[in-house]
Structure 1
Amino acid sequence: MKKTGKDNEEYAIVLIDGVCHLCQGLTRFIIQRDPACHFRFASLQSELGQSLLEQGGLTPDGGDTMVLIEKGRYYTRSQGALRIARRLRFPWPLAYAMIIVPRPIRDRAYRIVAKNRYRWFGRSEACMIPTPDIRRRFLS
């Protein structure tokens, strides 16, 4: 992954469904609880998002999962979500304890929400436009 300029730490990339209201809300949630700016964001629908999916061997037209790319490794569904939670401000790292639940069970719950996200939360015609103060966190 690329390095940030001032602290020279690696950052992780979160690929989200840019038109999904739930995903947009989760992006804002992560940003508010990530004071170290560990995460950067890109839309799954963007050219960069599609390219990163292909590099990771994932289906570019999937869109039913968020993807975390951390230190060159790709994490999807519940595994990605839990890895994000453990990097957020307290108390969210405690959610990582859910990693002990077998992945098929966690991913089943994730898939139910993902399948119904547009119906439950809505969708936009276009990706969200970040405010100027958080624009630097978006890669595309």
Structure 2
Amino acid sequence: MNNINYIILFDGECNFCSFWVKYVIRRDKKDVFRFTSLQSEKGKVLLNKYEVDSALDSVVLIENDKVYIKSTAAFRILRLLGGFRSIFYGLIIIPAFIRNFFYDVMAKYRYKIFGKSDCEFVPTQNRKNKFL
């Protein structure tokens, strides 16, 4: 487990967020990402440790003890996955307030568009090692 450098905190009740987690897991060829939901005890501990507001409506990336949120987190995750997805990291040059405006709109309507799960995301047996 020494190669774990990246922790992704996500909304475990959000269907879109769960899809995103599955997408990252399938493409994490170097096995460097670990996951926990924002609602979980471990998620709450990490939010507290890194002084992230627990009311934050965002994906959170912890990369070598540095915290990234919203669009910056999403673009960094894509860059870290490598391959053609890395080109999207170039959008980081767009000012954060513009990127995050679109991120926030998506976050606001994600339940309405993609639905909300009645229970927290539960990983399959063969993916349990990816979760804290």
Query: Which residue does 2:75 correspond to in 1?
Result: 82
Total equivalences in the alignment: 132
Task: State the 4+ residue runs in structure 1 displaced beyond 3 angstroms.
Answer: none
Normalised by the length of structure 1, the TM-score is 0.90
Within the candidate set 114, 119, 132, 1:121 is matched to 114
Aligned-partner SS, 2:120: coil
1:104 counterpart = 2:97: yes
Q: Who is 1:61 aligned against?
A: 55
Match of 2:28 in 1: 34
SS at 1:134 equivalent: helix
**In structure 2, C-alpha distance between the alignment counterparts of 1:128 and 1:99, rounded to whole Å:** 29
Q: Deviations over 1:100-128 (max 9, x none)?
A: 11111001000000011100100111112
The residue number in structure 2 matching 1:133 is 126
Higher-helix-fraction structure: 2
Q: Which residue does 1:93 correspond to in 2?
A: 86
Q: List alignment gaps of at least 5 residues for structure 2.
A: none
Q: TM-score with structure 2 length normalisation? A: 0.96
- Counterpart code for 2:91: M
